[in-house]
Amino acid sequence: MLGVAQDGGVPQAGDTDRPGWTDPAKRRLVVSLGLVDPATGERWLFEATPDLPEQLHRLDTLAPADSLVRPGLAGVFLTHAHLGHYVGLMFFGHEAMGAREVPVYAMPRMADYLRTNGPWSQLVRYENIALREMADGEAVRLNDRLSVVPLRVPHRQEFSEVVGFRIIGPERSVLFIPDIDSWEEWDASSALGTRIEEELALVDAAYLDATFFADGEIPGRDMSGFPHPFIAHSMARFAPLPAAERAKVRFIHLNHTNPALWLDSEAARSVEDAGFRLAQEGERVGL
């Protein structure tokens, strides 16, 4: 786990009073996963965030690349075209790393957006990245041990589709859905997938959108229409599940206002007491 915060990170730009500006322990990077195959040395990133340089350094520290060719990635998987999920591609470019043909896995609209809009189109033209288009529900085979299945989810689609991923290893699997409007909208659209409870049953751990804790978190704003499931709502929905299923859930993509960011908070304790987890940077799941 290379980051757990919403697109703006923690602290967020313009939020001058947050302790994270002076206390590194109160910082959180934008949500991202690293996938490593210890048998082959291959590494993949899920999301190219604004924090990509630090996240790549963390990945290098935890699992150094076998290849001397930077960035030593077998690929990057993108969920969608919102700020925190793709702009880190810029660090592969001519002005920074000058990478060569880093495979970037994206849905068709997302890939077309990168091809046809600057500055991202320069990455394609200079062959810093090599686009690999995916299809909803069709597995991308990474090697003999690992595969990734993109799953369409309902979320704001101004520039691209939005997907989550089921990451499948030899023995275990992980669900990664950093952004979704609501579980109920997913339920209502059979074209977009199955119920979240059915997806939970297929995996051993599930990293799920938890941008806000509850209504009222942002003073002076009506949050009823915010396009994310509140942690409080997700906990209520999943409460009937067996304890083993609830324990799979690891909440991610927390906004800088979310009190559950801090494990000593009442909000965080309520999550743990209900049998769920809050994802922490640096945690690992074996596949």
- 153/199 Cα distance (integer angstroms): 12
Percent of the chain with pLDDT over 90: 73
Find the range with the poorest average confidence among 25-34, 191-200, 205-214: 191-200
Can you say how many angstroms the Cα of residue 276 is from the centroid of all Cα atoms in its chain? 18
Quote the pLDDT of residue 190.
57
pLDDT at 35: 97
In the block, which residue shows the tokens 């997302």?
110
Whether residue 228 is predicted with pLDDT greater than 60 in this model: the reply is: yes
Domains contained in the chain, CATH given = 19-278 (3.60.15.10)
Question: How many C-beta neighbours within 10 Å does residue 116 have?
Answer: 10
CB 4 within 8 A of CB 210: no
pLDDT score at 109: 95
**Res. 78 pLDDT band, cuts 50 70 90:** very high
Look at residue 193 and tell me whether its pLDDT is greater than 60: no
Dihedral (CA of 110, 286, 282, 244) sign: positive
Question: Is the pLDDT confidence value at 191 over 60?
Answer: no
129: Cβ contacts below 8 Å, ≥ 6 apart: 76, 89, 92, 99, 101, 102, 103, 104, 114, 123
Residues in the chain, overall count: 287
Tell me the whole-structure pTM to 2 decimals: 0.94
